Chains A and B, each alone.
Chain A
Amino acid sequence: MDRFLDSFLNAKLSAATWPAILSGLIVTIEIAALVVGTGLLLGLALALVRWRAGRWFAWPLMLFVDLFRAVPPLVLVLLVFFGLPNIGIELPSFAVLWLVLSLVLAAFAEEIVWAGLIAVKRGQREAARSTGLTETQTLLYVVLPQALRLAVAPLTNRTIAITKNTALGTVIGVPEIINQATTAVSFSGNATPLLMGAFAYLLLFIPVIGLGRLIESRFAWRRQ
């Protein structure tokens, strides 16, 4: 038992390690916020453009969306991180992670919002048009608000899942939580930093999951 406490809940070591874990937590929050912002906006924009544009846009978009939904994010992270320098583009690892996760989230968000848009009854659109709203006004004021209600639950779940992928940054050396924790483990030969890292994720994501549930129940819409 003493040995267990010493290697998993070492008080002295945790006092020495928490500044590193905290700085990792801040990096994780920064990337997560950036990814959620750019990913959701880009996904929404793509779905709206797809609505207005014709098939010439739908096909390449579908390929992009399917590609980013089918290929594991870690593959994309390594591809961008090791591939771009070879063609003369040097991006810091932080930017690589941001770019890749934003594109992945955008792909899923586009698909979810699109599914919401086409689920809105045709009559809604016809009625809106017949009152004199333009096509764009109909989309923004009538169709989109209803579509987003349908989209909010899957969108929240997907956003949380992709935000958790910020942990992949450790593979390319982004100093986020798990990166800081594993570094501390290899320096100390003690597992305490691992548990601290796990605790930091719980601290960050349990409120996020709670918020997700709140958003779902607040905006959820019982369809007949």
Chain B
Amino acid sequence: MDVLLQQFFNLDIMAKALPLVLQGLKTTLLICLIVIPMGLIGGVLVALASRSTVRALRVSVTLLVDLMRALPPLVVLILVYSGLPFLGLRISPLTAVVIAFFLNNAAYYGEIIRAGIESVPAGQWEAARSTGLRADQTFTWVILPQGLRNVLPDLVSNTVEVVKLTSLASVVSLQEMLYSADMARSLTFNASPIVLAALIYFALLWPAVRLVSRLEHAAAR
């Protein structure tokens, strides 16, 4: 038991690693602030494109969505980070993370938002148009808000996944929280810094995870 505490919950080591881990947390939050809004905007565009009357647009968006469904996010990230330099494009780890996650998130948010838009009855569209709103106004002010509300549990759940996904950035040596914690682990030969990082992720995401459960249970009843 003592060994377990010593190796996983060593408070001395956690205290020493804390500044480094918090530094990483800043980067993690920064990545989230970039990729979540980008993903949502990309998602709305994907949803619109997948309902477009232009066939080429529909086909290419379906292709993107299916590719992202089939490829693990880590593979997309490695493809971008290690593949682009062969095209003569040198990119920073942060750029690679932003590009890879944008592709992935736009596809996943897009599928959710599309389902939301489709859940709004056609009468809403007709009623809004008959009051004199233009098509784009109808979409922005009438259809989209209702659609988003209908798929709120899925949106929150996917956002939790996106935050968890940022830990993959450590693989391309972006110094976010997991990278920092793992560096502290390799310096101290002790797993406590990673436990510390895990606890911070848990503290960050637990409210959202609870919320998802409550929304889902409410929807199932």
Interface residues of A (CB under 8 A from B): 4, 7-8, 66-67, 69-76, 78-79, 82-83, 86-88, 111, 115-116, 118-119, 150, 160-161, 164-168, 170-171, 177-178, 182, 185, 190-191, 194-195, 197-198, 201-202, 205-206, 209
**A7-B86, A115-B220, A171-B171 given; A194·B198 CB < 8 A:** no
Could you give 21 example pairs across A and B, Cβ below 8 Å?
Answer: A7-B86, A8-B83, A66-B210, A69-B209, A70-B160, A70-B204, A70-B205, A70-B206, A71-B198, A71-B205, A74-B168, A79-B191, A86-B189, A88-B3, A115-B217, A164-B71, A178-B74, A194-B78, A194-B82, A198-B75, A202-B71
Q: Is the CB of A86 within 8 A of B191?
A: yes
Taking chain B's interface residues, is the majority helix, strand, or loop, or is none over half, making it mixed? helix
Q: Is the CB of A178 within 8 A of B78?
A: yes
Answer whether residue B167 sits at the interface, using C-beta atoms and an 8 A cutoff: yes
Q: Is the CB of B75 within 8 A of A201?
A: yes
Tell me the minimal C-beta distance from B90 to chain A in angstroms. Answer: 14
**A115-B220, A202-B70 given; A4·B87 CB < 8 A:** yes
Tell me the minimal C-beta distance from B14 to chain A in angstroms. Answer: 13
Q: How far is the CA of A189 from the CA of B164 in the complex (A)?
A: 31
Task: For A194, list chain B residues within 8 Å (CB).
Answer: 78-79, 82-83
Q: Is the CB of B86 within 8 A of A74?
A: no
Q: Is the CB of B213 within 8 A of A87?
A: no
Q: How far is the CA of A201 from the CA of B76 in the complex (A)?
A: 11
Q: How far is the CA of A166 from the CA of B220 in the complex (A)?
A: 31
B residues 65-97 touching A (CB-CB < 8 Å): 66-67, 69-75, 78-79, 82-83, 86-87
Task: For B220, list chain A residues within 8 Å (CB).
Answer: 115-116, 118-119, 150
**A118-B220, A191-B86, A206-B70 given; A71·B201 CB < 8 A:** yes
Answer whether residue B141 sits at the interface, using C-beta atoms and an 8 A cutoff: no
Number of interface residues of B (CB under 8 A): 52
Q: How far is the CA of A37 from the CA of B135 in the complex (A)?
A: 49
Q: Is the CB of A75 within 8 A of B213?
A: no
The 10 closest A-B pairs by CB, nearest first: A83-B191, A119-B220, A167-B72, A72-B167, A205-B70, A164-B72, A70-B205, A72-B164, A191-B86, A86-B7
Answer whether residue B197 sits at the interface, using C-beta atoms and an 8 A cutoff: yes
**A116-B220, A198-B79 given; A205·B7 CB < 8 A:** no
Among B170, B201, B216, contact of A70 (Cβ-Cβ < 8 Å) = B201
Q: Is the CB of A191 within 8 A of B7?
A: no
Q: Is the CB of A75 within 8 A of B198?
A: yes
Task: For A178, list chain B residues within 8 Å (CB).
Answer: 72, 74-75, 78
Q: Is the CB of A72 within 8 A of B72?
A: no
